[in-house]
Amino acid sequence: MSQYWIFIVKDHQHLGRIIPAREVLINRVKNKFWSLNSRARYVRKLGQGDHVVFYVASKIERGFMGRGILAGEPHPITDEQRFHIIGMPSEAFDYTVEFSEAEIWGKPISIEEVKDKMPYLKGRVKIIFRGSIIRISEEDYNTLIEARKLKELEKT
């Protein structure tokens, strides 16, 4: 049975330069894998077919910016995957999980747009995503997917 997750990506640092979280996300989606810390709270619970939404937590921008489906379970990172990772904290991560599907959305979905519709967020005065993996319900996931569809319709 599929589970549902938020994967959080933050700004990275490389050689004194800040790499915006959106750039890190683009790299991860392009290469179809997500680097993880093997000690992350839920890393051992991730599995094939799980659905993920990507949340960018940057100084420049914040919001839900894409989705993916996991191709398998987390495993130690390969040398080839490590080659594609730039910046800290990802350079220090030792695990990875691949995607069978992954996409970045044209427009981000802000927390404000969905907070009253998602059970995970309802009633929270201050919303701060700590860590890198958050478990959500199927209802929360579907709320985000619907919000994305509505936002795409606004463009047309």
Domains in the chain and their CATH numbers?
Answer: 4-155 (3.10.590.10)
Distance CA 16, CA 102 (A): 29
For the stretch 14-63, pLDDT in tens is: 988 999 999 999 999 999 999 999 988 899 999 999 999 999 988 888 89
**With a threshold of 0.85, does the pTM exceed it?**
yes
- What sign does the dihedral 146-136-48-83 (CA atoms) show? positive
Amino acid letter, 62 = R
Q: Give pLDDT, residue 56.
A: 93
Phi, psi dihedrals of residue 83, rounded to the nearest 5°: -60, -30
Q: Which of 70, 62, 156 is nearest to 114 (CA)?
A: 62
- pLDDT exceeds cutoff 70 at 142: yes
For the stretch 104-125, pLDDT in tens is: 998 889 888 888 888 776 655 5
**What's 27's DSSP letter?**
H
Distance CA 18, CA 139 (A): 35
Residue 8: how many CB atoms within 10 A of its CB?
A: 17
